Amino acid sequence: MAPASPVTGRRTRPFLARLRRWLRVATAGIAALLLLAVLLDRLFPLRLPAPDTGSTVVLARDGTPLRAFADSDGVWRYPTTAGKVSPLYLSALLAYEDRWFYRLPGVNPYALARGAALSLREGRIVSGGSTLTMQVARIIMPMPHTVAGKFVQIFRALQLEAHLGKAQILDLYLNHAPFGGPIQGVEAASWAYLGKPAGQLSHAEAALLAVLPQSPSLLRPDRHPDAARRARDKVLRRMQDEGLWSAATVRDAEMEPVVARSLRAPLEAALLAERLHRQQPRSRRIVTTIDANLQRAVEDRVGNYLARLPPRTSAAVLVVDNASLAARVYVGTAEFGSVQRLGHVDMVRAPRSPGSTLKPFLYGLALDDGLITSQSLLVDAPQDFGGYKPGDFDESFSGPVSVAEALQRSLNVPAVDVLDHVGPKRFVARLANGGVDLELPQGAQPNLSIILGGASTRLEDLVGAYTAFANGGLAGVPRYQPEQPKQIRRLLSPGAAWIIRDILATNPADVDGAPMEGTINRHGAVAWKTGTSYGYRDAWALGVTDGWTVGVWIGRPDGTPSPGQYGAVTSLPLMFDIVDMLPDRHAYVAQPASVRKVDICWPLGGAASGTPPALCRQRRSAWTLDGALPPTFAERDLTAWSAGLVSVRVDAAGHRLSATCHGKGEHTLQIARWPALATPWLSADDAAHAALPPLAPGCAPDSLDLAGPIRIAGLVDGARLRLAPNSTRPLGVTLQALGTTGEVQWLLDGRLQGSSLGHADMRLALPQAGDHQITALTRNGAFARLSVHVDKS
Kindly report the backbone phi and psi dihedral angles of residue 774, in degrees, each rounded to the nearest multiple of 5, phi listed first.
Answer: -110, 130
How many residues are given for the chain?
793
Contact between residue 78 and residue 188 where contact means Cβ atoms under 8 Å apart? yes
Catalytic annotation, pick one of 55, 91, 314, 356: 356
Peptide bond into 197 cis (omega under 30): no
Burial of 662 (0-12, 13-18, 19+ CB in 10 A): exposed
CA atoms within 13 A on the CB side of 18: 4
Closest CA to 170 of 230, 85, 286: 85
Rounded CA separation 456/347 (Å): 13
Rounded CA separation 10/2 (Å): 17
Q: How many CB atoms lie within 10 A of CB 701?
A: 10
Q: In sequence order, what E strands does 603-724 have?
A: 618-625, 644-650, 656-657, 667-673, 711-713, 719-722
CA atoms within 13 A on the CB side of 563: 0
Q: Residues with Cβ < 8 Å from 495, sequence gap 6 or more?
A: 367, 592, 594, 595, 625, 626
Instruction: Tell me whether residue 755 is one of the annotated catalytic residues.
Output: no
Contact between residue 270 and residue 278 where contact means Cβ atoms under 8 Å apart? no
Is residue 361 within a helix (H) or strand (E), and if so which, with residue range? Answer: helix 359-368
- 462 conformational bin, left if phi > 0, alpha if psi -120 to 50, beta if neither: alpha
Name the DSSP letter for residue 194.
Answer: I
Is residue 747 within a helix (H) or strand (E), and if so which, with residue range? Answer: strand 743-748
Catalytic annotation, pick one of 97, 268, 460, 635: 97
Alpha-helical runs (H) found in 648-786: 684-690
Rounded CA separation 512/398 (Å): 26
Instruction: Tell me whether residue 246 is one of the annotated catalytic residues.
Output: no
Contact between residue 562 and residue 338 where contact means Cβ atoms under 8 Å apart? no
Rounded CA separation 704/411 (Å): 31
Q: How many CB atoms lie within 10 A of CB 456?
A: 17
Q: Is the dihedral of CA 41, 45, 50, 54 positive or negative?
A: negative
Q: Residues with Cβ < 8 Å from 561, sequence gap 6 or more?
A: 535, 536, 537
Rounded CA separation 533/352 (Å): 8
Q: What is the DSSP string of 275-302?
A: HHHHH-TT-SEEE-S--HHHHHHHHHHH
Calculate Rg over the CA atoms of the chain.
Answer: 41
> What residues are labeled active site?
97, 356
